[in-house]
Copies of this chain bind each other. A is one copy, B any other.
């Protein structure tokens, strides 16, 4: 089981959540965050997923943010994704 931590713009987070649900993932847990140099509001999404579905989850997130078209600044990134190993995963 992996924990996917995706830092995304506020405006993309609903679309990403809907895309993940449509692809059969659980709804991610959303944290309101503030980030980066411009101190803009963004969102950090937490998603637990099986190891073999991590790449597909990344693809879903990528597709959701790329749908917005090319950013004004081509160096601007729209999502920063960390994938963490878990040593235990439990639902009670």
Contact = CB atoms under 8 A, between A and B. Distances in A.
Interface of A is mostly: strand
Contact of A81 (B61, B84, B88): B88
B27 A37 contact: yes
As for how many copies of this chain the complex holds, the number is 3
A83 to B, nearest CB: 4
Interface of A: 1-3, 5, 7, 21, 26-39, 42, 44, 46, 48, 54, 58, 61-62, 65-66, 77-92
22 contacts: A3-B5, A7-B46, A27-B37, A27-B38, A29-B42, A30-B34, A31-B33, A48-B80, A58-B88, A58-B90, A62-B92, A66-B92, A77-B92, A78-B92, A79-B90, A81-B88, A82-B84, A82-B86, A83-B86, A83-B88, A84-B85, A85-B85
